[in-house]
Amino acid sequence: KNIVILISGRGSNMEAVVRAAKAEQWPARIAAVISNRADAQGLVFAAEQGIATAVVANKDYASRAEFDAALQQVIDGFAPDLVVLAGFMRILTEPFVEHYAGRMLNIHPSLLPLFPGMATHRQALDAGVTEHGATVHFVTAELDHGPAVASATVPVLPGDTEDSLSARVLVQEHLLYPRAIRLFIDDKLSIEHGQVRVDPQ
């Protein structure tokens, strides 16, 4: 199976997926890492691993529709079975999302449906919740609202800052995302009529 990973920056989740795929010898290939920013740090790691990289810069396109069309063309050049959003900071248009329906995952740093959107750790601290975390979900047209596949929970501790809380969540993201992707690769995860199905065993 071919996996294409989209990033915008640091790429630590992408790195966790690449490392897990290698260590566990997934029956899958990370076919490409694609960024919407040429300066995304994660591109360096991907290239070092011998993975094909590409940049489709949103700033070069006049509209979201044109950007998404160009991005789709590059992604599809790698014949992906699964598209993995890993810190990809662009809102995607409906035709793009529809094209990858049932084969595009995202990780969001909150316990969805709580705190969609940006600055999730700030939102969690401001709300005074005692638990926070990350969620892997299938991508649908509504931002951060696709059906959840799996989540990981961490405590919010007294004295937490955005930095301390995001670091605690990130450790869990790096475990959670490879696990969820592995299920998909092993044909144990799918979405049917908007319902997530995870096979036991």
Encoded amino acid at 99, one letter: H
Q: Which residues contact 36 (CB under 8 A, 6 or more apart)?
A: 6, 8, 55, 56, 57, 58, 67, 71, 88, 89, 90
Nearest distance from C-beta of residue 36 to ligand GRF, angstroms: 12
Nearest distance from C-beta of residue 10 to ligand GRF, angstroms: 4
Q: Is 86 in the site for ligand GRF (CB under 6 A)?
A: yes
Residues 127-146 interacting with ligand GRF (rule: CB under 6 A): 134
Binder to ligand GRF among 87, 133, 146, 178 (CB under 6 A)? 87
Please list the alpha-helical segments (H only) found in 100-143.
120-127
Active site residue 108: yes
Site map (CB under 6 A) of ligand GRF, residues 15-54, x = contact? ----------------------------------------
Nearest distance from C-beta of residue 159 to ligand GRF, angstroms: 21
Cβ density class 78-96: b for 16+ within 10 Å, e for less: bebebbbbbbbebebbeeb
58 assigned to a ligand binding site = no
Q: Is 9 in the site for ligand GRF (CB under 6 A)?
A: yes
| Residue 35 burial class via C-beta count within 10 angstroms: exposed 0-12, middle 13-18, buried 19 and up | buried
Encoded amino acid at 126, one letter: D
3-class DSSP state for residue 107?
strand
Binder to ligand GRF among 6, 107, 154, 180 (CB under 6 A)? 107
State the residues that interact with ligand GRF by CB under 6 A: 7, 9-13, 86-87, 107-109, 134, 170, 173
Which residues are known catalytic residues? 108
